[in-house]
Structure 1
Amino acid sequence: MEGGGAGTTLSEVYQNAKKLQLKIRDGLERLERLESSTSAGAAASPEFSYEIKKDISHLHSLCVDMDRLWRSVAVKSQRDLWRRKVEQVAEEADSLKESLDKYFMRNQRRMQEAKERAELLGRANGESSYVLRIFDDEAQAMQSAHSSSRMLEEAYSTGVAILGKFAEQRESMKSAQRKLLDILNTVGLSNSVLRLIERRNRVDTWIKYAGMLLTFIVLMMMWRWKH
């Protein structure tokens, strides 16, 4: 039986991931066509590339969900099969992200070259300040997108590593729980012994004081009898 969370099965998440893969792949192909169409690519690609970046982020999120779900499959043969499928989807997601990152780098390089050309023209006619401001804004936006993509990759890697550690340490946690119960039982026994010792000490103290009082009374009676 396949694992699932919040009413979503591993098969459903896998199918959603495959559909999203096709959408991203088609988007990247369209982006490359726009990129090769000179001015049309420069005008249309930024907004569209950001949409593809969001889809890749969603795909990585689905990979994290699947990495958690395949570990709960009961039958080992099915679990191994799902593990290979999830690994393939994750590898494809990394490949798609790499393709988009390369596009961002090419686009940023083109904008830098265009900025340099505008600066050269500005020295000649002094009318390129508006163009330079546009390229500065675009360059900053592309740099921000690249940084966000890198942060997402790091978060994904961290999530997968944490899930792997949870799976590896499951037996260790059970053993620690048993040891903790043994310690608690030992502490409970020690507390009982301590309470018994405290009661015994209180009884001994009362016996000591009673003996001292009795001795004092006997001595007083003997002294009066002699006098």
Structure 2
Amino acid sequence: MAAMSTVGGGGSLSEVYQNSKRLLIKTRDGLEKLERLEYTSASGLGSPELSDLVKGDIVEIQSLCIEMDRLWRSIPAKSQRDLWKRKVEQVAEEADSFKGSLDKYLSRNQRRIQETREREELLGRVNGDGSHVLRIFDDEAQARLSARNSATMLEEAYSTGVAILSKYSEQRDHLKRAQRKALDVLNTLGLSNSVLRLIERRNRVDKWIKYGGMIVTIVILIYFWRWTR
């Protein structure tokens, strides 16, 4: 197949794609470890070695995307070409997303390093009540850690709410399809209009129940957000 052809001994398109997918998984794991270190460490400082490894993996994925972009263009069949184009674009988008996440992490880490240096310089110039100043900085660090934890909890609650609303949407689609099938069957059997009206009333009741659940979910999210502020 054209998708399996090699160019300059660099491996087939399928092989390069599989390598890129493995690197994506490795990169995602590395970013998750960096975020855990960031939110569990009292200083908030992560691992420079790990961040360098993640950065190297992202660069390698981007290089593989360039190679795959060259390979899929040489596929004769348009359908296969379009399929591989979408696959390569998905890998490139994930790599760009990971790069954005790493850049934000490095920016936060650099800011914390600068704050630590300023703190040490200030404590070095303090003569006398140095312990009081140290306690102030420790309180500020604890407050920042608490704020990050609250933000994480809020994001988790928001994700839960989105998942619930998506589930409601799926159930609505299932109900619509089931209603259409039921109406087709009822029309085929020639049942009375009263039965059809009964089904319609039941569907309206289910719809109000669904809307009520959505409103309750939104109210809970708003209350939780205000509570964590």
Report TM bin, short chain: 0.5 to 0.7
Whether 1:10 and 2:1 are equivalent positions in the alignment is no
> 2-side partners of 1:55 and 1:82: how far apart?
22
Aligned to 2:88: 86
The gaps in structure 1 that reach 5 residues or longer are: 127-227
Whether 1:66 and 2:68 are equivalent positions in the alignment is yes
**In angstroms, what is the RMSD of aligned CA positions?**
1.7
Shift of 1:37: 1.8
* 8 Å CA contact 1:34, 1:40 repeated in 2: no
TM-score by length of 1: 0.52
Structure 1 stretches of at least 4 aligned residues deviating more than 4 Å after TM superposition = none
**Match 1:75 to one of 74, 77, 84:** 77
- Per-residue deviation, residues 177-197 of structure 1 (Å, max 9, x unmatched): xxxxxxxxxxxxxxxxxxxxx
Aligned to 1:198: none
Summarize the alignment of residues 34-53 of structure 1 with structure 2, pairs less than 5 Å apart: 34-39=37-42, 42=45, 45-53=47-55
Shift of 1:5: 1.4
**Match 1:22 to one of 2, 25, 38:** 25
Shift of 1:41: 5.7
**Compared with structure 1, are the counterparts of its residues 107 and 85 closer, same or farther at alpha carbon in structure 2 (3 Å cutoff)?**
same
> 2-side partners of 1:63 and 1:48: how far apart?
23
Shift of 1:57: 0.7
Shift of 1:35: 1.1
- Per-residue deviation, residues 87-145 of structure 1 (Å, max 9, x unmatched): 1100100000111001000000101111111121011159xxxxxxxxxxxxxxxxxxx
Aligned length: 125
Shift of 1:39: 4.6
Helix, strand or coil at the partner of 1:73? coil
Aligned to 1:111: 113
**Match 1:124 to one of 123, 126, 140:** 126
TM-score by length of 2: 0.52
> 2-side partners of 1:114 and 1:19: how far apart?
37
- Per-residue deviation, residues 152-196 of structure 1 (Å, max 9, x unmatched): xxxxxxxxxxxxxxxxxxxxxxxxxxxxxxxxxxxxxxxxxxxxx
* 8 Å CA contact 1:13, 1:62 repeated in 2: yes
> 1-side partners of 2:82 and 2:123: how far apart?
62
